[in-house]
Chains A and B, each alone.
Chain A
Amino acid sequence: MELTDNLNIKQFKPLTAPEKLKADLPETEAAAHLVAESRRWSSGSFAGTISSG
């Protein structure tokens, strides 16, 4: 049967799954706190700053 798909693919390579990479390089508690805190600051800095009046 004549092939009709993947004609321009040379190779499929496996990739580590996100969960495995995160297990190898976990986010520490301090990092999680830093990210959460800075996201709150960031969101708060622009939320509602365009006035509706």
Chain B
Amino acid sequence: MIIVGPCSLHDEEATLDYARRLLEVQKGCSEQLLVIMRAYFEKPRTTLGWKGMLYDPHLDGSYDLDLGIRTSREMLCEIAEIGVPCATEFLDPIVPQYLADLITWAAIGARTTESQIHRQMASGLSMPIGFKNATDGNIAVAMDAIKAASNPHSFLGIDRNGQVIVAETKGNKYGHLVMRGGTSGPNYSSEFVAFAEVLLNKGNISNGMVIDCSHANSSKSYKRQHEVLLDVADQIQLGNSSIAGAMLESFIKEGKQSIGAAGGFKYGTSLTDACIGWDETEELIGRLAEAVKAGG
């Protein structure tokens, strides 16, 4: 499985253009890979910044959340109609009631994996949930999260009608680890993967892991995602079966742009973290599919 797409979505035309391109790629590797598009609408910020389309669809600090949630759902419906499954990060525990029916795979981010609220939320979600290792690289926090979310919980939330309720969950047995590197450095190499396998095994967690080629695994340099993905592909080709997926931050054009930059918005270019461009994306997905075929 490859989870690939922009760091965040902000432009409907470019988003749907990207989804159509992914569909074509998926058709060429459907025996080896499931291609899931990143459709991230909520962006956790280290301090301040644009919080994503769901919060601020006008990109101007006006925070029209009602429109933001509507636009987010509209985009998910359109991507699904194209035939591409979507992944997202759930940040606010209310949001799943609006969007979760259209999500194939979801992440709990490095900053929230330790949060009881997010572990409880994950225990009630209907899709596989990837818990990222902590920002300092700590894997144990994500393992605790996987265990916590696999059990039933009761917590405060809203139902479909917006009524405040107590949600009683069954537990999510498809929680798994997402290796994203940390302040101590990347953790995608075979030594780190083997170490994670030992820890997961010791912790009686049988689900494999996803390697995030971006973030601290690329030392926050989008161009390094290439070498990370190639390394992951090599591991899979050599027979590793615990790596179940990889994640890439990619858009139509490489790099990133700033909100309010002179000259207006550049088409198909990320507004948050820098991404690799389309040609490189296609090449890397092809390499991963080849590795799965050879290793399988």
A-side interface residues toward B, CB under 8 Å? Answer: 13-19, 21-22, 24-28, 30-32, 34-35, 38-39, 41-43, 45-52
Contacts and interface: CB of A to CB of B under 8 A. Distances in A.
B103 interface: yes
A16 B70 contact: yes
Contacts of A39: 104-105, 126-128
B176 interface: yes
Interface string B61-83: 00001100110011001001101
Contact of B73 (A21, A28, A30, A49): A21
Contacts of A46: 128, 174, 176, 207-210, 244-245
A49 B70 contact: no
B80 A27 contact: yes
A16 B9 CA distance: 22
A39 to B, nearest CB: 5
Interface stretch (B39-47, B116-124, B156-164, B247-255): B156-164
B236 to A, nearest CB: 11
Contacts of B126: 39
Contacts of A14: 66
Contact of A16 (B1, B69, B159, B244): B69
A9 B205 CA distance: 43
A28 B80 contact: yes
Interface in B150-186: 158-162, 174, 176
A31 B77 contact: yes
Q: Which of under 10, 10 to 19, 20 to 34, or 35 or more describes the interface residues of B?
A: 35 or more
Contacts of A34: 80, 83, 85
Given A28-B81, A41-B1, A50-B201, A21 B69 contact: yes
Nearest to B96: A18
B242 interface: yes
A48 B206 contact: yes
Contacts of A38: 34, 36, 85, 104-105
Nearest to A41: B34
Contacts, number: 123
Interface string B83-94: 101000000000
Contacts of B127: 35, 39, 42
Contacts of B66: 13-16
A15 B162 contact: yes
Contacts of A52: 201, 204, 206
A28 B127 CA distance: 18
Contacts of B242: 49-50
B158 A18 contact: yes
Contacts of A50: 197, 200-201, 205-208, 242
Contact of A15 (B69, B161, B207, B209): B69
Contacts of A49: 206-208, 241-242, 244
Contact of A17 (B34, B36, B160, B205): B160
Interface in B204-225: 204-210
Contacts of A18: 97-98, 158-162
A35 B101 contact: yes
18 contacts: A14-B66, A17-B161, A21-B98, A27-B77, A27-B102, A31-B77, A31-B81, A35-B85, A35-B103, A38-B104, A38-B105, A39-B104, A42-B1, A42-B34, A42-B174, A49-B208, A50-B200, A52-B201
